[in-house]
Structure 1
Amino acid sequence: MAGTSCAPRMLAAQLLESYEAGSSFFFASPKRTLLARGTFATVPHPGGANALARLPERVAAVLNEAREADHDIPVAVGAVPFDSALPAQLVVPMTIQRAGPLELGSDVAIQRPLAERYTVQPVPEPAAYLDGVAQALKLMGSGPLRKVVLSRALQLSTATPIDLRQLLRNLARRNPTGYTFAVDLPPALDAAPDAGRRTLIGASPELLVSRSGFQVVANPLAGTTPRSADPIEDQARAAALRVSPKDLHEHAVVIDSVAEALRPYCKNLVVPQEPSLVSTPTLWHLSTRISGELLDPSISSLMLAVAMHPTPAVCGYPAELAHEAIDTIEPFDRGFYTGTVGWCDANGDGQWAVTIRCAEASEHSLRLFAGAGIVAGSKPESELAETEAKFRTMLQAMGLGQGVGVQP
C-alpha cells in the first residue's frame, strides 16, 4: 500500500502527549479528538478570483487520488485563511488517530509561565485601535455598512524556545468545551530562508459548521462581555448581555447571514428565536445553535464551510463592504486568524471551527489575535476592553496574567 492504515483508537490525552510541532495536526472538539501525522499529499491552491469556491472540489480530487493510490486515510486536515484569495493549508496525512473527548483531570498541571520573560508589541497601539473603531462607526453612519469586525495583534518574543505541546495542553485544560487545535503552516511569503516552522495554535469557542451523515450543525457566537472573578458581578454581566440591544442586534446580523448561507443546502433548518448564553473562562457569549438536514449527500462539510466563510461574526455585514473597511483600517495581515480550521473526509463528514482565540507561533515568538464586532452604538473603549479580554485565552495558557512577565 502507498498509504498507512488508521492507527488504533487511543485515549485522547495520549494523542495530545503524542503531538509534535512541525509534523502533526491536532484537533479536539467536545466530542472527539484527532491527531494526524505526516503528509501524503498537499491540496494545491486553485488560484484565481474564485479560489475559495473551488477549494472543495480540489480537496475531493486529492482525496480520490489518495484512494486510487491505495492510501486508506481519505481525510483532509488543516486551515483556511481569512482572505479567500490566499492559499489554504490542507493536507492528506500519512496517519491519523482518533479518540473521544479530551478530558484532562485537575491533576494535569498548568505550567506557568512558558518563558521567563516576553517582550510585547501591540499592533496597532491601543490609541490607534480606538481611532479605527471611531472610523468604522463613521462609515456605518454614512452608508449601508451595518457591522465590521476590527482586530488587534500582540507580538510576543522570548529568548526561550516556546514549548508548543505544553501550550496546547494548557489551552485544552482551560477550555474543555471548545475546539483546541494546532496546525503546521508553511513559511510566510516574506520570511527569511532560515525562518523555521510556523504553527497556528489556539482554542476556539465557536463551531463554524459540522456535518455527520445528513446532519448539519452551526453554532455562531456574537455578542460578548468579559467575565468577572466575583460570582455576583459575573452573573450580573451575563444577565445584562442577554438583554443588551447592541449585542442582540450584533447577534441577529450574524444569525440571519449564517441561516441564509445554509438554506440552499439544507432542509428542516432550525433557527432558535432567541440566543442562549455560553461561557469560556474569560468571556460570556450570545450563542445560537442552528441545525438542519442536507438536501444532497454530495455536499461536504468543507462546501458548507466555504459557503459560510467569512461570517459576520469575524468580518461584518455586508461582507464586501466590511472586508473593504478591514483592509483600510487594520494595519496587519490576518493570515489564518478568523479563517477556519478542521477536517473533512472523503464521505463529506467533518468539523470546522472558526479560527479565533489563537496565535501564530514560531520557535521564539507568538502573534496573538483578538477582535471585536463594531455596530451602531459601539463605544471604542468597550471594544478595546473586549479585545483585551479575548487575548486572555492565550495569555493565561502561556502562564501570563495581565502585564505579568511582559515587557513593553
Structure 2
Amino acid sequence: MKAIFRLPFEEKFILIHHHEAARNVASFFPFTNGKTIHLQAENLEVCTSEELKSSFFEVENFPENNAELNIPQHEEYLQKLEKAIEIIKQNNLPKLVISRPIAKEISSINLEETYQLLCKKYPNTLCYLLISDEEIWIGATPEILGKFNKKTHEFFTMSLAGTLPVDAEWSEKEIEEQKPVTHYISEILKKYVTLSEVEESETYNHISGNIKHLRTDFTAKIEDNRLEELIEELHPTPAVCGIPKEFCKEKIIEIEQYNREFYAGYIKIETEEEIYCFVNLRCAKIYKNQVIAFAGGGITALSSPEKEWRETELKSQAILHHLQ
C-alpha cells in the first residue's frame, strides 16, 4: 500500500510506502461507520517533481468493480432531491447534503499523468492518490477540516459551502446554504478554545477550477490533547452532511442508498510540524474498466432539483474531465 500527497500551494510531494511502524503518518476515515485505512512509516519521504519516479504510480493489477452500486440517472436523482426537500420542509432543517456516484467507463488510465494534471489544475487543493491491493482513490479536495500547528497550537479550519460556476452571481440559496456551516463550526470551536478567542474572517469567494464556493476562515488556539476530540466533533460538518448531524446522517443513507465510503470522509496527514485533516471531496475510485466519481450538494428548502443535478455534473468534472 502506498500514497502520494501534494499539500495546497506546495511544490513538493509527500510519499508514503506503508510498512508496519510505530506511528500512523496518514489515515483515510469514512463518511460514517466503516473501514479506516492507516498508512504507517518511520518517516515521510518528500521529493520534488523532478525526483518523483514514474515507478511509484505503477499498479500490477487494477481492482475489478464487483460491487452492486446503485448509480442514479437524471430522473431518479431528481426524485431523491424532491424527497430531501420534503424532509427539509417537514423538519425545518437548514440544509441536507445529498450526493451521487457518477460512473465513467475507461479502457485504460495513466495514473501518473492524471495525478500530475490534477496537481497543475488545482494548486489550492490537497491532491492525493492512494493505491492499495483492494482499492485506488484519487482526489483534489479544496476543503480543510482542520490544520494544527504543533509548536504554536494554532488551529485553522474553514466553512466552505455554496457552489456556482465562476462567472455566476450568488443568490439567497447559496448564502443560506453556507450560513449554518459557519455557525456550526463557530459554536464547536468556542467549546475548545482556552488560549485565545476564535477569530473569524469575512466570507469570500474560493475558486476551485471551473466553480466557486463561499468560504469563511477560522483560527483559534487549542490544547494538543483535545485535537482528536475536536476533529471528531466537527466531522462530518454541515458542508457534507447537515444539522442536526445524526438525524441528517440517517436521512442521507435512506435517500442516497449507496455507501459513500471515503467520499465526504476525511484524510489526516501528520508532518513534523503540523497535523492536517482534509474533507475528502472531488474524489474518485478507480477500477480496471471504470472510474466512479462522487459529487453532492447542499439542499435547502429553496433548492431547484434540476440546478442541483447540474451542480453535481460540474463537480464530477473536476476529476472525470482530467483522466489521462
Name the residue aligned to 2:317.
392
Matched, 1:379 2:304: yes
2:8 corresponds, among 17, 26, 29, to 29
Name the residue aligned to 2:172.
245
CA distance in 2, matches of 1:39, 1:259: 38
Name the residue aligned to 1:77.
26
Name the residue aligned to 1:163.
110
Q: Note the C-alpha offset of 1:364.
A: 3.0
Matched, 1:271 2:200: yes
**TM-score (normalizing by structure 1):** 0.69
Name the residue aligned to 2:55.
none
Contact in 2 for aligned 1:79/1:183 (Cα 8 Å): no
Q: Deviations over 1:43-102 (max 9, x none)?
A: xxxxxxxxxxxxxxxxxxxxxxx2xxxxxxx5520210001x2131112225422368x8
Letter in 1 for 2:158: N
Letter in 1 for 2:15: L
Name the residue aligned to 2:164.
225
CA distance in 1, matches of 2:73, 2:126: 29
Matched, 1:98 2:17: no
Letter in 2 for 1:292: A
Q: Note the C-alpha offset of 1:198.
A: 1.1
Matched, 1:198 2:145: no
Q: Deviations over 1:297-323 (max 9, x none)?
A: 3233x4432221000000111112211
2:189 corresponds, among 257, 262, 277, to 262
Letter in 2 for 1:269: V
Name the residue aligned to 1:209.
146
| Aligned counterparts, 1:4-403, within 5 A | 22-31=1-10, 33-41=13-21, 66=22, 74-83=23-32, 85-98=33-46, 123-160=71-108, 162-185=109-132, 196-213=133-150, 214-227=153-166, 234=167, 237=168, 240-241=169-170, 244-266=171-193, 267-272=196-201, 274-294=202-222, 296-300=223-227, 302-344=228-270, 349-398=274-323
Name the residue aligned to 1:116.
none
Q: Deviations over 1:170-225 (max 9, x none)?
A: 1101101111112235xxxxxxxxxx531121001111110013111002210110
**Aligned-partner SS, 1:123:** coil
Q: Note the C-alpha offset of 1:40.
A: 2.0
Contact in 2 for aligned 1:149/1:316 (Cα 8 Å): yes
Letter in 2 for 1:127: E
- 4+ long deviations beyond 6 Å: none
Q: Note the C-alpha offset of 1:145.
A: 2.6
**Aligned-partner SS, 1:173:** helix
Contact in 2 for aligned 1:27/1:342 (Cα 8 Å): no
**Aligned-partner SS, 2:219:** strand
**TM-score (normalizing by structure 2):** 0.86
Letter in 2 for 1:260: E
Count of residue pairs the alignment pairs up: 301
CA distance in 2, matches of 1:326, 1:383: 15
CA distance in 2, matches of 1:212, 1:373: 30
Mark the runs of 5 or more structure 1 residues left unpaired by the alignment.
1-21, 42-65, 67-73, 104-120, 186-195, 228-233, 400-408
CA distance in 2, matches of 1:130, 1:324: 19
Letter in 1 for 2:5: F
Q: Note the C-alpha offset of 1:249.
A: 1.2
Q: Note the C-alpha offset of 1:345.
A: 5.4
Mark the runs of 5 or more structure 2 residues left unpaired by the alignment.
51-68
CA distance in 1, matches of 2:3, 2:262: 17
Q: Deviations over 1:236-289 (max 9, x none)?
A: x1xx21xx22111111100111122222222311123x4100111110110111
CA distance 1:202–1:319, shift in 2 (3 Å):
same
Q: If you compute each CA radius of gyration, which structure gives the higher value, 1 or 2?
A: 1
CA distance 1:277–1:259, shift in 2 (3 Å):
same
Identical aligned residues as a percent = 27
